[in-house]
Structure 1
Amino acid sequence: MIFRQITHDDLGCASYLIGDEKAGIAAVVDPRFEIDEYLDLARYMGVSIDHVFETHNHADHVSGHGRLAVATGATIHVHRLADPAYAHQPFDDGDEFQLGGLTVRAIHTPGHRPEHTAFALIDTKRSDQPWAVLTGDTLFVNDVARPDLAIEKAEGARGIFHSLKDKLLVLPPEVEVWPGHLGGSMCGGPGMDMKVSSTIGYERRANPTLQIEDEQQFVDEALAKLGPQPPNFQAIVELNRGPLLTEGVQLLPLTPRQIELKRSEGALVVDVRTDLQFDEAHIPGAICAPMHRAGFGSKLAWLADREQEIVLIGRDDQDGHEAGKLALAVGIRKLGGYLHGGMTSWRQEKRPTNTIPRVAVEDLEDHRTAFPDLQILDVRDQSEYDAGHIPGSTLTTWHDITSWPEDLAPELPVAVICGSGQRAATAASLVVRHGGHDVVHVVDGGVPKWGRLGNDLETTTRTSKA
């Protein structure tokens, strides 16, 4: 039997190649947009990809089902409630598909989305009982899915509660759990683990959300830990439901002069190098979005207007190509190109650059003493800020900096801080982009480290709305 998990580390997504090597037949479950790895594996194993199974219409990444169907002739299978606008074979709860000695059984698990379906895997040569379940976006390792990306969030949470209790947790304890996402995905909560798999029995015992037996308590806790909805999730769903998307985008190499021209015409300049390289020298008006850390695609989806052209700045041409692939994965397709030769070519032509000073978190207090008017901008999420923040700091979550932060005085210096320094890198570039002229990026840690160094932190108590 064939079973391979393929992860998209930037998005925290997991897809699967399953099948029967002796029968020469395989299927891909929840394919990512870049399909080369599936094709390479199938060729290596001598099997034909005849089926594509989707657990649901994805909201966080563009599916590769269209590209696989064109490349292999595979049939796309999705629950009939998905109602896509492409040729497919719909299935219902309990339907089974034979891939040689492997049986794939559909288990309808609504909640995350109405059409959501898990797939139980049965190795019929060994047993008539499932040995694994591909849980998609219902059950994760140490967490469960968010309920607010398709329907009213309380209704979604109730659906997930019953899908877990009535459909998945009734499976034998030894059944392996292989989720559709790993830690870092926006489709789950803060408890999602980086582990690639678990078992039904272990999750029953150790997943704190699964210990909740009362439905209303489950709903209340699910809604309480929800983060903000990504801005482009509906657009991604429509791409995945719509006519098959089979082509990428040609990414053109651009000279510094062409970059300057596109910038003057309104293109968004996104610098994908490390935050240190960005702070040392960057194109004026560029946004810092380091590509070599997980979550670049999701971050770009927050920053980019899908109707605005984007040009990419990397260390070299390879950076430009890789960043383009990650942008396509989250449905950002209006890509104007990348800086040929990387930032070096810009510097060689002696074109203007900006810098952002850096201050280590352990030196922030001395910096504040030297600059008594220093404003501290905390760019973490509201829940992080409420749990502990630097006295006198103001909050604007990094992805909400779409203009000059209203609580800051533009004539005074600003220090931008987060939890580790990474979000602050992007936020500092946004503050500068919106008019900041005396901005420092707090690095080598953030607010939690500030507290561990013995400095005071304030908390905020909020009353929940009825």
Structure 2
Amino acid sequence: MLFRQIIHDDLGCASYLIGDGQAGVAAVVDPRLAIDEYLRLGRYLGVRIEHVLETHNHADHVSGHGRLIAATGATLHIHRAAAPEYDHDPVDDGWELELGRLVVRALHTPGHRPEHTAFLLIDTARGPEPWAVLSGDSLFVGDVARPDLAVDKAEGARGLFRSLHEALLTLPDDCEVWPGHLGGSLCGGPGMDLKVSSTIGYERAHSPLLSIDDEDAFVARSISGLAPQPPNFQAIVALNRGPLRADRQVPQPVDPGQLAAARDAGALVVDVRTELQFDEAHIPGSVSVTSLRAGFGSRLAWLARPQQPIVVVGRDDEDAERACELAGAVGVTGPLAYLHGGMTAWREERRDVDRIARIDVGALHERLETDRDGLQVLDVRERSEWDAGHLDGAVHVPYHDIAEVPDGIDPQRPVAVMCASGQRAAVAASLLQRHGARDVLHVVDGGVGTWRAAGWPVVEGA
């Protein structure tokens, strides 16, 4: 039997190549936009990819099903409630697909979305029981799906409760759980683990939400701490439900003069180098969103307006081209370009650069002690983090909501931007500078947690 998990690290997505090597047939479940790895594995293992299965209409990333079907001629299977605009084989609960000795059985698990379907895997050469479930976005390692991306959140949570207790948790304890997302994805809660798999028995015993047997209590708990919805998720769902697309977005190289003209005409200039490189020198008006850490695509999707042209600045062309591919994976569909030769090309023409000062948490504390009336603090974490503890007198705006200098911040006075680690603060500091703040300080090497751990006071609540 053939089983491979393929992880998209930036988005925390997992897809699967399954099948029977002896029979030479395979299927891909929840394909990512970049399909090269599936084709490479298929050739390497000597199997034909004849089927594509989708657990649901994804809301956080663009599917590669159009590209994969164009490349292989495979048949696409998805629950009939998904109601896509493309040709497909509609499946229902209990539907089965034979891939040699591997049988795939559909298990309808609404909640995350009404059409959501998990897939049971049965190795008929070894036994009739499912040895694994591809749980998609219903059950994760350490957490469960968010219920608010298709219907009212309480309605979705009730559907999810029933799917868990009437379907997934009825599976054998030793049935392996292979989820559609790992920790860091916006489709689950804070308990999601980076571990790639688990078992039904372990999750039943150790997942806090699965220990709640009362439906009303489960609903209240599961919707109480929902994170912000994935950026442009409705547009991503529309892309995934719409006609199949096999085209590939090809970014255009531009020189420094063309970048400057595009920026002045309204393009978003995104610097994907490290935060340190950005702070030391960057193109005026550009935004820091490093592609060298997980979450680049989602953070970019928060900032880019629909159809807004984007110019990427990397260390080199390869760096920028990779970032453009990640942008496409989250439905950023505006014209894409990149600075040919990277930041070096800009510097070689001796063009102007801006800089952002860096300050660690200890130095921030010292400065606030001596300059309490002069230095402002902007906290750019999410609301739940802010409520759990923040600096007295700080202003709060999540980094992805900064569309101008926030109310309560004087752009003529110095402002220190902080989060939990310095990563989100890097994005926010660049946005503040872009919107006209004159003296921005990027708080690095820690954040509010570091401040609290040092014993300095924080304020809890709103």
User: How do 1:12-91 and structure 2 match up within 5 A?
Assistant: 12-91=12-91
SS at match of 1:291: coil
CA drift at 1:225: 1.2
Q: Distance in 2 between matches of 1:369 and 1:121?
A: 61
Q: Distance in 2 between matches of 1:319 and 1:255?
A: 16
| Alignment of 1:374 onto 2:375 | yes
Q: Distance in 1 between matches of 2:55 and 2:310?
A: 31
The equivalent of 1:291 in structure 2 is 291
CA drift at 1:228: 1.3
The equivalent of 1:226 in structure 2 is 226
- Contact preservation (8 Å) 1:3, 1:19: yes
Q: Distance in 1 between matches of 2:306 and 2:14?
A: 25
Corresponding letter in the other structure for 1:32 = R
The equivalent of 2:418 in structure 1 is 417
CA drift at 1:367: 2.3
SS at match of 1:354: coil
- Contact preservation (8 Å) 2:79, 2:115: yes
The equivalent of 1:408 in structure 2 is 409
The equivalent of 1:354 in structure 2 is 354
Larger mean CA deviation between 229-238 and 192-201 belongs to 229-238
CA drift at 1:305: 0.8
Q: Distance in 2 between matches of 1:9 and 1:330?
A: 13
TM-score by length of 1: 0.98
Corresponding letter in the other structure for 2:288 = C
CA drift at 1:371: 3.6
User: How do 1:159-308 and structure 2 match up within 5 A?
Assistant: 159-308=159-308
Corresponding letter in the other structure for 2:446 = G
- Contact preservation (8 Å) 2:250, 2:336: no
Superposed CA RMSD in Å reads 0.8
Q: Distance in 2 between matches of 1:406 and 1:294?
A: 30
Corresponding letter in the other structure for 1:384 = E
Q: Distance in 1 between matches of 2:250 and 2:328?
A: 11
Q: Distance in 2 between matches of 1:29 and 1:369?
A: 56
The equivalent of 1:434 in structure 2 is 435
CA drift at 1:74: 0.2
Corresponding letter in the other structure for 1:326 = L
Q: Distance in 1 between matches of 2:406 and 2:431?
A: 10
Corresponding letter in the other structure for 2:252 = L
CA drift at 1:81: 0.4
Corresponding letter in the other structure for 1:91 = V
Corresponding letter in the other structure for 2:393 = G
Aligned residues between the structures: 461
Q: Which runs of 5+ in 1 are unaligned?
A: 462-466
Corresponding letter in the other structure for 2:395 = T
Structure 1 stretches of 4+ moved >4 Å: none
- Contact preservation (8 Å) 2:420, 2:449: yes
- Contact preservation (8 Å) 2:59, 2:230: no
Q: Distance in 2 between matches of 1:387 and 1:86?
A: 46
SS at match of 1:399: helix
The equivalent of 1:106 in structure 2 is 106
Q: Distance in 2 between matches of 1:304 and 1:317?
A: 21
TM-score by length of 2: 0.99
Q: Distance in 2 between matches of 1:21 and 1:142?
A: 32
SS at match of 2:167: helix
The equivalent of 2:345 in structure 1 is 345
Q: Distance in 2 between matches of 1:204 and 1:222?
A: 16
Larger mean CA deviation between 36-45 and 372-381 belongs to 372-381
**Cα shift readout 1:64-85 (whole Å, capped 9, x = no counterpart):** 0110100000000000000101
Q: Distance in 2 between matches of 1:155 and 1:407?
A: 38
SS at match of 2:279: helix
- Contact preservation (8 Å) 2:121, 2:132: yes
CA drift at 1:369: 4.0
SS at match of 1:125: coil
CA drift at 1:252: 1.3
Q: Distance in 1 between matches of 2:303 and 2:211?
A: 37
Q: Distance in 2 between matches of 1:269 and 1:423?
A: 17
Q: Distance in 1 between matches of 2:60 and 2:415?
A: 33
Q: Distance in 2 between matches of 1:208 and 1:281?
A: 46
Among all aligned residue pairs of Structure 1 and Structure 2, give the percentage whose two residues are the same amino acid: 62
SS at match of 1:160: helix
Q: Which runs of 5+ in 2 are unaligned?
A: none
CA drift at 1:370: 4.9
Larger mean CA deviation between 97-106 and 387-396 belongs to 387-396
- Contact preservation (8 Å) 1:324, 1:335: no
CA drift at 1:355: 0.1
Q: Distance in 2 between matches of 1:367 and 1:130?
A: 61
SS at match of 1:139: coil
SS at match of 2:170: coil
Larger mean CA deviation between 302-311 and 137-146 belongs to 302-311
Q: Distance in 1 between matches of 2:238 and 2:157?
A: 22
CA drift at 1:253: 1.1
